[in-house]
Amino acid sequence: MATPVMSYDPTDLLDVERIRADFPVLQRQVNGVPLIYLDNAATSQKPAVVIQAIENYYKSYNANVHRGVHALSEEATAAYEGARKKVAKFINARSSREVIFTRNATEAINLVAYSWGSANVKAGDEIIITDMEHHSNIVPWQLLAERTGAKLHFIPVTDEGYLDLAAYDALLNERTRLVAFTGMSNVLGTITPAEDIIARAHAAGAVALVDASQLVPHKGANVQALQADFMAFTGHKMCGPTGIGVLWGRRELLEAMPPFLGGGDMIREVHRDLSRWNDLPWKFEAGTPSIAEGIGLGIAVDYLNSVDLEKVHVHEQALTRHALERLRDIRGLTLYGPPAEDRGGVVSFYVEGIHPHDLATLLDQRGIAIRAGHHCAQPLIERLGVPATARASFYMYTTHAEIDALAEGLEAAKKVFGL
């Protein structure tokens, strides 16, 4: 069911110019003109407070965590584990013990595929994913199916950019062990009905995993309300640094799962003939972790809390409506995905007669950064029937004027190609 359209002006809620001042890179120029950054689905920019927090760690209390009793190690441990608690509260986890730090969402999903999947999926079992998944939520399940002899099924996408839930119901059966799906498409922007998908999976006796990489930074996610079993997301798309991601899982599932990687810190004791594992979450965090990155992610969570994600989502929906209206008027341009009220701040399109890579290059000359290609979602691009798409994606610091500049840049690109 469509989400009600907000009737009020988001500028009453979000001080975009103040927010923009918090992001140093937005002050620079590209090719002699001010940067217009519309590639937020790939990675977000970082506020100064996050950059400063990482720098401060290295300058003031650089030390390894969990192992030392000296002052620097204790300070680093407190900051790193404090970040875990912030993340747990941000997604409303029951305990910070359910929050596992990984390198990114890709590693988080692989952790589930290898640890939970290897212990719970066997020949003849079935895994359901969707045609709008990022490769990170396709390839690990392909590999699991190959290892175990399980079968992989896909929920199709409708022409309007929604998941076909009737087809999903037809796929569910007593052999279904896992349903893994995106909370928001990185190509279409579609916000999926996560609670409904999860409830149907549970009714069939299956476990559900949500790839929330696009959802958490822009709309947030409450794991208790979702009733999910696993959720993965990444720091670099939510104002945090690269090299840090999150796997949240229900504690009883995580407790039963074998370790993903072996080494230091994930053990309680090691002998020649056996080893015993550490408690959660450290059982899944072998070796020295990404300490600075974890601390930076904690500060990014503080920043997102300070701006209020509900306001961010309303702002992005207004931007998306404006983008769809402006781009719809460009002759020869095809838009993909549902109406603005059912999507996040992502607009993918194809201009007849111009390859998306050429389009992105011409826009870059005007200081406009967009994405072009398969967007790590090649099955979906094949479903759309085009070689690639161009994608503009927005965030809290995007303005209506930048979208106007995008539309003007697209018209200029058409002229270059004589269209």
Q: What residues are annotated to the active site? A: 376
323: which residues sit within 8 A by CB, 6+ positions away?
347, 392, 394, 403, 406
Q: Which two tokens stand for residue 308?
A: 């209020």
Closest Cα partner for 163 from 177, 176, 178, 182? Answer: 182
Number of helices (H), then strands (E), in the chain: 15, 17
Per the CB < 8 A criterion, the answer to whether 128 and 179 are in contact is yes
Q: Which two tokens stand for residue 233?
A: 């997301």
* ∠ CA 17-394-101, rounded to 5°: 100
Alpha-carbon distance of 381 to 186, in angstroms, equals: 11
Cis omega (within 30 of 0) for bond into 281: yes
Contacts for 52-61 with beta carbons within 8 Å, 24 or more apart?
53/295, 53/296, 53/298, 53/299, 54/241, 54/292, 54/293, 54/295, 54/296, 57/291, 57/292, 57/295, 58/292
